[in-house]
């Protein structure tokens, strides 16, 4: 299974989109500070996940969600979640 996920920073509410095959291990790596690009905004909370049978489909989706149009779609889809406190 190939997973596209969105994390939210408890520090400032920013979002991070990523791709993995082992979601538990990947989130742990983000929260331990092992991922350079997310280290300074720890801790992270998983707020969205999609799974794919095809790696190509998952990578295409991750790439789209990182575009301006994709970020806007995420903010629209997750509008209630994003209104919640950072916790």
| pLDDT single digits (tens) 11-28 | 999 999 999 999 999 999
With 80 as the cut, is the pLDDT of residue 86 above it?
no
| pLDDT single digits (tens) 24-54 | 999 999 999 999 999 999 999 999 999 999 9
CB 33 within 8 A of CB 21: no
What is the domain partition of the chain in residue ranges? 2-83
Of 78, 56, 76, nearest in space to 4 by CA: 56
Q: What is the pLDDT of residue 87?
A: 63
Q: Token digits for 64?
A: 């789209």
Q: What is the pLDDT of residue 84?
A: 84
- State which fold the 2-83 domain adopts: GIY-YIG endonuclease (3.40.1440)
User: What pTM was computed for the model?
Assistant: 0.94
């Amino acid at each position: 299974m190939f997973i596209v996920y969105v994390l939210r920073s408890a520090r400032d509410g920013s979002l991070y989109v990523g791709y993995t095959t082992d979601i538990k291990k990947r989130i742990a790596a983000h929260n331990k500070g092992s991922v350079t690009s997310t280290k300074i905004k720890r801790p992270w909370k998983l707020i969205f996940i999609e799974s794919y049978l095809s790696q190509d489909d998952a990578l295409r989706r991750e790439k789209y969600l990182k575009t301006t149009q994709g970020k806007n779609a995420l903010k629209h889809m997750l509008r209630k979640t994003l209104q919640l406190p950072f916790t």
